[in-house]
Chain A
């Protein structure tokens, strides 16, 4: 009994010292199907945290430290456990994460809301997260796939395509994107001939492509992952001559695509989150100086997610989520002085003096609706076996 008491006293002491600095959770899928994507996002978030901490201007000289947690992407219970640890044992004041939509929903419902902790996801794009009951605690610097669907439907209409087949990877991301695309495209006057799922990690997709080809369509929308079944579907469709034009959402536009298919998919097109704002270029320079790839998918959003939490704290004058959650949209949007990557110290000063800022950041942040990025998209086309940028939307 005595030892138990002293142990809890030590714990209380430790907890007491831990509160001397602000901690921020970085909860991403460091293991699992998107493990290759997690690294740059984490580095970017930690770069923003270090920038704020080194400036010494946050809340009268508080330091900030990141604490990593593994949300695994597909294992909701592991993600919840990792989130729980961050909040209860590490005592984080906010969470950058989680990464995949399924894990994000689980951590939000089981950890963030019960404990009243703010979460900003840099990469969860499921439309379902827009309407989720979040007590004002959940934000994302990644745009919802509902927005991507509208952009994709616009691109198709402008290119004069009116009938497409859709195949999606059989998970939250794929189904969400396929459903919202179907709605958006039909509103724009198009027809979806078939919307069929495919499972990742299979070798043989002839049955799937057979069904897609029978349904017909001028092109095939592949809402999948380039490292997984998405490439298998394209391969089988090319081999059988079922389709030769593909529409490629964010999960498909990666260097692996042109490595696999070269110019066989010339004329295919797609879109992914991205902007041509000057903030993006600044960020990539900073990132390469810090030793990671700033052009990696969702790295910019990672930097912005961490920066927004810290700036909101400064605006509220408190690291308590219930105080600063109201301020996030305020610092992200107009009016105020525009803040680009590398200018966080300046932003902290303005806020300390009671001024207004409009955080633009690396990904051209503009939060809409219940706190998600309005989303700028980069339209790309495959030409001569290369991914080329057509424009921004």
Chain B
């Protein structure tokens, strides 16, 4: 009986908890970037997915450069060493975009709807830029040790029927996400610059009157967004693979996460990321195996015990989105309503 319980637990961890946690951390980092632009810059940045693609692309190119020089990070992926290059290049790109495009509209005091449309244009340009430089194909750039725990080793070690696999990239994803989130909250709540950003976000006119330099706040926001996007994109690429089109599509779950949590609320973005990822995986999981272990012999289901086909997993995030908007339009953590 205890063995069955353990088997059920391991199967659940292997196929639901581990992948959903890693995916959730990636979505949360992406949603944090989106939510930051909404809070400080007051518009929904549709180009975020392609910003992630750009940052990841630069990181990949830098990774290849490091590998060519014979520098690796040992058991860790080399891409982690290349991250600063990716963040710097992306920050440069975003600051240049702001100078060339967004600043004009900000000075016009354009509405957030106008800025949203503008960001669609920016998205297409970034889209083209990434495809032009690295191409449309799949790129794999993970190296180092692949597994923290591999399914085969776990089975041999535990003697259970079910295996448990944790990839290095999944461990790194969760760890990095935690570090980044803590750093971000510390920055926003404890530093002078962070406080000025929050003041600017809360009431722009009052912030200007108290002597906060708006261009500086905007520039710092873009740099933070660049860092978040590049880190999220690189972690996602390490865990899965890099393909520009996939990053463009990632925009949907990221937006769903940000809106469910409450646009403009960093805590909400993180919660939203995990809510979306866990519901996508858990609602489409076939519970046959787990129930088979847990229920007494005669009661085990013959069918798959699957609530929804996996092809509906994106519908899941949108159903949650619609429900949240209907019941609590500001999101779970009181962001701005859209």
List A residues at the B interface (Cβ < 8 Å). 170, 194, 196-199, 201-204, 206-211, 213-216, 227, 231-232, 235-236, 239-242, 260
Q: Which residues of B contact A194 (CB under 8 A)?
A: 286, 304
List B residues at the A interface (Cβ < 8 Å). 11, 14-16, 19-20, 23, 137-138, 140, 150-152, 155, 163, 165, 167, 236, 240-241, 243, 245-247, 249-250, 280-281, 284-290, 304, 306, 309-311, 313
Inter-subunit contact A211/B310 (CB<8 Å): yes
Inter-subunit contact B23/A206 (CB<8 Å): yes
Q: Give 6 pairs: A residue, B residue, CB < 8 Å, sorted on A.
A: A196-B311, A197-B310, A202-B246, A240-B15, A241-B163, A260-B140
Nearest-neighbour CB distance to chain B for A318, whole angstroms, equals 45
Q: How far is the CA of A216 from the CA of B287 in the complex (A)?
A: 11
Q: Which residues of A contact B309 (CB under 8 A)?
A: 196-197
Nearest-neighbour CB distance to chain B for A206, whole angstroms, equals 3
Inter-subunit contact B165/A240 (CB<8 Å): yes
Inter-subunit contact B240/A204 (CB<8 Å): yes
Q: How far is the CA of A235 from the CA of B138 in the complex (A)?
A: 13
Instruction: Please give me the residue from chain A that is nearest to B292 by CB atom.
Output: A214
Inter-subunit contact A170/B311 (CB<8 Å): yes
Q: Which residues of A contact B313 (CB under 8 A)?
A: 207
Nearest-neighbour CB distance to chain A for B146, whole angstroms, equals 8
Q: Which residues of B contact A196 (CB under 8 A)?
A: 309-311
Given the known interface contacts A203-B243, A206-B19, A227-B138, the answer about A214 and B288 at a Cβ–Cβ threshold of 8 Å is yes
Point out the residue from A198, A227, A231, A241 that lies within 8 Å of B165, measured CB to CB.
Answer: A241
Inter-subunit contact A210/B152 (CB<8 Å): no
Nearest-neighbour CB distance to chain B for A135, whole angstroms, equals 36
Known: A203-B243, A207-B280, A241-B165. 9 other contacts (CB 8 A): A194-B304, A203-B240, A203-B241, A207-B19, A207-B284, A207-B313, A214-B15, A227-B137, A240-B163
Nearest-neighbour CB distance to chain A for B141, whole angstroms, equals 13
Instruction: Please give me the residue from chain A that is nearest to B237 by CB atom.
Output: A203
Q: Which residues of A contact B155 (CB under 8 A)?
A: 241
Inter-subunit contact A239/B167 (CB<8 Å): yes
Inter-subunit contact B167/A242 (CB<8 Å): no
Q: Which residues of B contact A202 (CB under 8 A)?
A: 246, 249
Q: How far is the CA of A241 from the CA of B151 in the complex (A)?
A: 5
Instruction: Please give me the residue from chain A that is nearest to B240 by CB atom.
Output: A203
Residue from B15, B155, B284 whose CB has the most chain A CB atoms within 10 Å: B15
Given the known interface contacts A201-B249, A214-B286, A231-B138, the answer about A206 and B15 at a Cβ–Cβ threshold of 8 Å is yes
Nearest-neighbour CB distance to chain B for A152, whole angstroms, equals 23
Inter-subunit contact B289/A216 (CB<8 Å): yes
Q: How far is the CA of A230 from the CA of B304 in the complex (A)?
A: 22
Q: How far is the CA of A72 from the CA of B256 in the complex (A)?
A: 32
Point out the residue from B140, B250, B306 that lies within 8 Å of A203, measured CB to CB.
Answer: B250
The 3 tightest CB contacts between A and B, nearest first, are A241-B151, A206-B19, A214-B286
Q: How far is the CA of A260 from the CA of B140 in the complex (A)?
A: 9
Q: How far is the CA of A209 from the CA of B286 in the complex (A)?
A: 10
Instruction: Please give me the residue from chain B that is nearest to A213 by CB atom.
Output: B15
Q: Which residues of B contact A236 (CB under 8 A)?
A: 19
Inter-subunit contact A240/B19 (CB<8 Å): yes
Point out the residue from A214, A232, A239, A241 that lies within 8 Å of B304, measured CB to CB.
Answer: A214
Given the known interface contacts A208-B310, A240-B15, the answer about A213 and B289 at a Cβ–Cβ threshold of 8 Å is yes
Inter-subunit contact A214/B289 (CB<8 Å): yes
Residue from B19, B243, B306 whose CB has the most chain A CB atoms within 10 Å: B19
Inter-subunit contact B138/A211 (CB<8 Å): no
Q: Which residues of A contact B165 (CB under 8 A)?
A: 239-241
Q: Which residues of A contact B290 (CB under 8 A)?
A: 214
Q: Which residues of B contact A203 (CB under 8 A)?
A: 236, 240-241, 243, 246-247, 249-250
Inter-subunit contact A210/B249 (CB<8 Å): no
Q: Which residues of B contact A214 (CB under 8 A)?
A: 11, 15, 285-290, 304, 306
Q: Which residues of B contact A204 (CB under 8 A)?
A: 19, 23, 240
Inter-subunit contact B14/A240 (CB<8 Å): yes
Q: Which residues of B contact A239 (CB under 8 A)?
A: 165, 167
Instruction: Please give me the residue from chain A that is nearest to B152 by CB atom.
Output: A241
Residue from A196, A206, A213, A236 whose CB has the most chain B CB atoms within 10 Å: A206
Q: Which residues of B contact A260 (CB under 8 A)?
A: 140
Inter-subunit contact B306/A211 (CB<8 Å): yes
Given the known interface contacts A203-B236, A204-B240, A241-B163, the answer about A210 and B23 at a Cβ–Cβ threshold of 8 Å is no
Q: How far is the CA of A242 from the CA of B155 in the complex (A)?
A: 12
Nearest-neighbour CB distance to chain B for A223, whole angstroms, equals 14
